[in-house]
C-alpha cells in the first residue's frame, strides 16, 4: 500500500472512502480506477480550474462600467480563493508557500516580458506593478499548486532521479535563459538536450488506486505542459493577457509555446521538489533505484 493521505486536508477522508470501495473485478474495476484518476486530477487542479473559470466568467459577464476594474476584481478574487482554500483545509500550508514562491518568480518574469513586448495586459487596473496586474502571479501559482497537490494526491515516487544539485543548476539556467535570450543566443535546444540526458531514465511512480503505475518523467512533463497550453488558449481568449498577434482578434496560441511551457513546467517541478523531496520507488542492495518493474 502507498503512503496514507495527509490527514489535515478535506481530501483525506474522501480519498480513504473512495480507495476502500470494492467494485467487481474486470472492466468495472478498470472503469472505477479510470474515474478515480479523473477525480483526483480534478482535485489536484482545483485552484487552477477555479481561477480559469473566473477569467472566462468575468470576460463574459463582468460589467464594462463597473467601478472596480475586472483585473482588480480578479486579483481580489484570487486572493480570497487562496485564503478560502486554506481556511477550508482544501490546501496545505506547504502548498500555499509554493504558490507564494511561484507568485514572486512569475511576477518578476511578467515584469520583464511585458516590458519587452512579449505579451501585454490590455485592460486598465489599479492593483498592478508597471504593466502587470497582480492577478497574473496567481496564474503561475496555479501551476505550482497543481504540481504540489498532484504530488501528494498520487503519492509520487521516482526511480533513477538525478542529483538534486544538478536539477537546481539546470532550473537556474532555464530561468536565466528566459531573460537572456533577448540579447544572447537562445539556448533552449541545449537546455532540452541537458534535460533529456539528466532524466532519460527517470520514471515517475504514482498510485491511482491499488497498484503502483509509472511513466517516463519527461513524458509526464509534456502532458502537463500540453494542458497548460490549452488553458493558455482559454486565458488569451478571455483577454487575461494577449500576444501581439492577437491585438486585432483572437487566434490560437502558436504550438511553439509548448516548448516554453515545458521549460516552465520543469522550473515548477524543481521548486515543488524542494518541498516534497523526491523519494525513491525501491532500491537494490547497492542502493540503486530501478524503473518500471513490479
pLDDT tens track for 189-215: 999 999 999 999 999 999 998 889 999
Query: Minimal CA–CA distance to 269: which of 183, 174, 181?
Result: 174
Q: Taking the CB of residue 288, how many other CB atoms lie within 10 A of it?
A: 10
The CA radius of gyration of the chain, in Å to the nearest whole number, is 20
pLDDT tens track for 97-113: 878 888 888 899 999 99
pLDDT tens track for 133-155: 999 999 998 998 899 889 989 99
Domain layout of the chain by residue ranges: 11-276
Q: Taking the CB of residue 22, how many other CB atoms lie within 10 A of it?
A: 7
Contacts of 273 (CB under 8 A, 6+ apart): 164, 167
Do the beta carbons of residue 227 and residue 155 sit within 8 Å? no
Contacts of 94 (CB under 8 A, 6+ apart): 148, 275
Q: What's the confidence (pLDDT) of residue 9?
A: 67
Amino acid at each position: 500500500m502507498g503512503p496514507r493521505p495527509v490527514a489535515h486536508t478535506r481530501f483525506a477522508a474522501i480519498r480513504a472512502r473512495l480507495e476502500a470501495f470494492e467494485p467487481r473485478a474486470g472492466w468495472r474495476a478498470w472503469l472505477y480506477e479510470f474515474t478515480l484518476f479523473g477525480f483526483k486530477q480534478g482535485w489536484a487542479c482545483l485552484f487552477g480550474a477555479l481561477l480559469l473559470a473566473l477569467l472566462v466568467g468575468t470576460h463574459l459577464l463582468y460589467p464594462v462600467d463597473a467601478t472596480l476594474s475586472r483585473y482588480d476584481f480578479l486579483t481580489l478574487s484570487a486572493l480570497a480563493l487562496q485564503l478560502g482554500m486554506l481556511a477550508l483545509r482544501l490546501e496545505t500550508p506547504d502548498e500555499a508557500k509554493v504558490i507564494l514562491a511561484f507568485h514572486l518568480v512569475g511576477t518578476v518574469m511578467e515584469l520583464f516580458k511585458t516590458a519587452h513586448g512579449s505579451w501585454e495586459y490590455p485592460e486598465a487596473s489599479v492593483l498592478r506593478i508597471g504593466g502587470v496586474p497582480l492577478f497574473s502571479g496567481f496564474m503561475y501559482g496555479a501551476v505550482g499548486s497543481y504540481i504540489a497537490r498532484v504530488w501528494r494526491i498520487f503519492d509520487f515516487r521516482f526511480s533513477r532521479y538525478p542529483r538534486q544539485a544538478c536539477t537546481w543548476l539546470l532550473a537556474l539556467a532555464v530561468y536565466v535563459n528566459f531573460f537572456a535570450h533577448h540579447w544572447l543566443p537562445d539556448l533552449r535546444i541545449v537546455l532540452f538536450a541537458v534535460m533529456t540526458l539528466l532524466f532519460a531514465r527517470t520514471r515517475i511512480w504514482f498510485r491511482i488506486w491499488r497498484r503502483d503505475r509509472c511513466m517516463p518523467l519527461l513524458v509526464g512533463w509534456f502532458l502537463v505542459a500540453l494542458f497548460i497550453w490549452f488553458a493558455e488558449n482559454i486565458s488569451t481568449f478571455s483577454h487575461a493577457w494577449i500576444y501581439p498577434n492577437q491585438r486585432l482578434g483572437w487566434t490560437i496560441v502558436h504550438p511553439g509555446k509548448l516548448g516554453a511551457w515545458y521549460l516552465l513546467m520543469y522550473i515548477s517541478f524543481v521548486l515543488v521538489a524542494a518541498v516534497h523531496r523526491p523519494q525513491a520507488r525501491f532500491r537494490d542492495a547497492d542502493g540503486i533505484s530501478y524503473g518500471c518493474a513490479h
